[in-house]
């Protein structure tokens, strides 16, 4: 009997081990929150402003990945260390979702192909595809109270971004400025100097605010508006959601992101129409107070549009639609890049020097304005199909965790990035979109409006 008791005591975790696991769990929570905050508060332009060569040449390996990625990796490590069996916890965490497994497999092969065969930088894969998976795994098991609190924090950051964008638009300046060599040219058609993308970004009239480049900014704001209008976000009362939507829509106009603006109008109208049709099918009566609120909202919207037109807020946006600076022509010209390529190059990836040369000849210094075309010209059709398959599987996992409203938002997201270089380069827009969906549309407790104050003691399952 004594031998049995001593045997059980030998296998019982010590107080120090339990304390270290609790500490690891707390650090996992803090790192997760830090990663989400960094995702929306630190842009590529901010990093370049402070001398971190994130999108330009130079700098060390750590400067080429976003701080949100580093914090997410740390959070995942702490998450596993909080378990009695860290390696088993890591394996169970990654292998628990088929979408994560398939996208992980695709990304590993893509990174190997980029480094060993195509000889192209592969650090962009980390922020573009790996970061969304890491945050998905970290947020999936997060305490619902903390998740709601984190959603409000992200909403606050988006409001700060919106206010900054409006101020920059009216003030004609950038809070976060980019310095560039005055001897270079910001115009790719100018023959007097070498074209520099950093200079072109620095001289752009569109706001940067917190989220950085106007197209990236517009895409994230578009996803945020769609999430707030979806049925899964009904836990957030309209007295909070209404002003936020007005601010985000106003900032979206100032950003000059035409595709995001059009898709937001279409998707927003579809969500409102869907709610109205559901209410009618349930036989809901039209209450007098609802009619009064609708008339007041229409009057306020009309007044806001009148003031905006009088103040000139729509002038540059309308100019962007009327004169796209050759953007539409660029999307047609980019298909000429396939002309000098053989079928072998298209399937397995062309020589990067050949692509760079034709890109200069076709006047595409700003980049290939399609994620899918850019991926094919970087990795080849075979690897691109593998990436797309992984993205579809992972998107299905996000929808299963967040509800059917996420499907519409992700479809619109992928349609939008079809007209920009987003996913074919280094970007955090996919991670930002999936985090918004998880925070605002999560299935747990979505029907109940929880009071969002300081979060309770957070819990995160650490596996076996």
What 3-state DSSP class applies to 13?
Answer: coil
pLDDT average, residue stretch 66-88: 91
124 contacts 379 by C-beta, under 8 angstroms: no
Q: Which residue has the higher pLDDT, 239 or 433?
A: 433
Give tens-digit pLDDT for 44-57.
888 888 888 888 77
Nearest to 81 by CA among 11, 1, 27, 122: 27
pLDDT at 322 over 70: no
364 contacts 413 by C-beta, under 8 angstroms: no
CA-CA-CA-CA torsion sign (451, 453, 454, 460): positive
Q: What is the mean pLDDT of the chain?
A: 77
CA distance 271 to 235: 16
Bridge partners, residue 195, by sequence: 185
pLDDT classification of 112: cutoffs 50, 70, 90: confident
Give tens-digit pLDDT for 410-444.
998 998 888 777 888 888 999 999 999 999 986 65
The segment with the largest mean pLDDT, out of 270-284, 397-411, 425-439, is 425-439
Identify the pLDDT of residue 162: 92
pLDDT at 179 over 50: yes
Residue 207 is encoded by which pair of tokens? 């706001």
Q: How far apart are the first and last CA of the chain?
A: 29
Residue 431 host element (H or E): helix 429-441
Identify the pLDDT of residue 450: 41
Q: Which residue has the tokens 């049995």?
A: 4
pLDDT at 464 over 50: no
Nearest to 417 by CA among 357, 291, 331: 331
Our measurement of the distance from residue 409's CA atom to the centroid of its chain's CA atoms, rounded to an integer in Å, reads: 12
CA distance 384 to 424: 10
**Structural domain for 206, as ranges:** 95-268+322-441
Identify the pLDDT of residue 137: 92
DSSP 430: H
Identify the pLDDT of residue 1: 47
Nearest to 376 by CA among 348, 343, 414: 348
CA distance 378 to 426: 13
CA distance 52 to 420: 24
pLDDT at 463 over 50: no
Q: How far is CA 380 from CA 155, 248, 316, 343, 416, in A?
A: 38, 38, 38, 10, 22
Q: How far is CA 449 from CA 180, 228, 272, 445, in A?
A: 49, 14, 20, 8
Residue 213 host element (H or E): none
CA-CA-CA-CA torsion sign (400, 404, 409, 412): positive
Cβ density class 387-401: b for 16+ within 10 Å, e for less = bbebbebbbbbbbeb
CA distance 27 to 42: 21
Residue 191 within any structural domain of the chain: yes
Residue 412 within any structural domain of the chain: yes
What 3-state DSSP class applies to 396?
Answer: helix
Residue 288 within any structural domain of the chain: no
Residue 175: HSE in the Cβ half-sphere, 13 Å Cα cutoff = 20
Identify the pLDDT of residue 105: 92
pLDDT at 121 over 80: no
Q: Which residue has the tokens 């960094």?
A: 38
Q: What total number of domains does the chain contain? A: 1
66 contacts 54 by C-beta, under 8 angstroms: yes
pLDDT average, residue stretch 116-132: 84
pLDDT average, residue stretch 83-109: 87
Residue 302 within any structural domain of the chain: no
Residue 312 within any structural domain of the chain: no
pLDDT average, residue stretch 256-268: 74
pLDDT average, residue stretch 399-418: 87
Task: Note the pTM of the prediction, 2 decimals.
Answer: 0.81
CA distance 337 to 360: 10
CA distance 39 to 127: 10
Residue 236 within any structural domain of the chain: yes
Least confident of 73-77, 94-98, 115-119: 115-119
Least confident of 59-73, 91-105, 115-129: 115-129
Our measurement of the distance from residue 376's CA atom to the centroid of its chain's CA atoms, rounded to an integer in Å, reads: 22
CA distance 265 to 250: 12
pLDDT classification of 29: cutoffs 50, 70, 90: very high
CA distance 385 to 440: 30
Residue 72 within any structural domain of the chain: no
Residue 436 within any structural domain of the chain: yes
């Amino acid at each position: 009997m004594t031998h049995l008791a001593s045997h059980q005591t030998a296998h019982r975790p010590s107080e120090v081990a339990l304390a270290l696991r609790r500490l690891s769990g707390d650090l996992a929570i803090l790192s997760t929150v830090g990663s989400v905050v960094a995702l929306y508060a630190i842009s590529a332009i901010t990093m370049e402003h402070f001398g971190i060569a994130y999108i330009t040449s130079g700098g060390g390996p750590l400067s080429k990945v976003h701080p949100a990625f580093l914090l997410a990796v740390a959070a995942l490590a702490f998450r596993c260390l909080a378990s009695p069996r860290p390696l088993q916890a890591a394996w169970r965490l990654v292998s628990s979702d088929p979408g994560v497994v398939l996208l992980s497999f695709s990304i590993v092969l893509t990174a190997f192909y980029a480094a060993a065969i195509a000889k192209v930088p592969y650090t962009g894969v980390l922020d573009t595809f790996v970061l969304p998976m890491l945050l998905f795994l970290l947020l999936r098991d997060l305490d619902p109270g903390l998740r709601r609190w984190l959603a409000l924090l992200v909403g606050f950051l988006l409001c700060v971004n919106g206010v900054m964008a409006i101020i920059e638009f009216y003030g004609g300046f950038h809070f976060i400025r980019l310095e560039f060599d005055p001897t270079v040219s910001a115009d790719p058609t100018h023959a007097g100097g070498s074209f520099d993308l950093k200079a072109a970004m620095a001289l752009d009239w569109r706001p940067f605010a917190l989220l950085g480049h106007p197209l990236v900014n517009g895409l994230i704001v578009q996803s945020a508006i769609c999430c707030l209008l979806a049925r899964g976000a009904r836990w957030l009362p309209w007295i909070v959601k209404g002003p936020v939507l007005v601010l985000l829509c106003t900032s979206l106009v100032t950003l000059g992101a035409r595709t995001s603006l059009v898709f937001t109008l279409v998707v927003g109208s579809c969500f409102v129409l869907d709610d109205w049709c559901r209410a009618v099918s349930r036989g809901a009566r039209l209450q007098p107070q609802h009619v009064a609120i609708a008339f007041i909202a229409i009057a306020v919207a009309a007044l806001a549009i009148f003031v905006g037109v009088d103040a000139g807020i729509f002038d540059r946006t309308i100019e962007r639609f009327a004169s796209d600076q050759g953007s539409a022509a660029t999307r047609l010209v980019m298909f000429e890049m396939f002309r000098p390529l053989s079928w072998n190059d298209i399937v397995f990836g062309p020589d990067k020097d050949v692509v760079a040369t034709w890109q200069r000849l076709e006047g595409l210094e700003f980049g290939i304005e399609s994620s899918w075309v850019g991926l094919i010209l970087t990795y080849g059709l075979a690897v691109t199909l593998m990436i797309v398959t992984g993205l579809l599987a992972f998107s299905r996992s996000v929808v299963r965790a967040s509800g059917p409203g996420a499907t519409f938002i992700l479809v619109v997201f992928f349609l939008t990035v079809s007209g920009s270089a987003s996913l074919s380069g280094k970007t955090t827009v996919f991670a930002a979109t999936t985090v918004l969906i998880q925070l605002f549309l999560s299935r747990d407790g979505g029907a109940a409006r929880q009071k969002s104050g300081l979060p309770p003691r957070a819990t995160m399952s650490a596996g076996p």
